Structure 1
């Protein structure tokens, strides 16, 4: 568990939350999840409302 947390912390420090979540969205799309699936999932994340809105905006701009 500690190893996973250190990887997450390293990713956040290196790329920032927004970039990290953009990459999560890209990976979820590669796994076949729809935009609406991802949007529902994002709403459950323990992140700020502002970040949720940014992720939704990013999703809307995807082709």
Structure 2
């Protein structure tokens, strides 16, 4: 007969929310730093029209 696993304490909602907001704050800072970096390049716009035609493999009647 095996032993029962020890019951774990539940995390409070506020603790999880605090952790998530701290993560979002770091992520926002990281992205703004990346965007303002002198090595950042302007993203080239993809031409969606040409790609859409390539993706069509079969036309339903």
Higher relative CO (CA 8 A, sep ≥ 6), structure 1 or 2? 1
Whichever structure has more helix as a proportion of its residues is: 1
Q: What TM-score comes out, normalization by structure 2 length?
A: 0.30
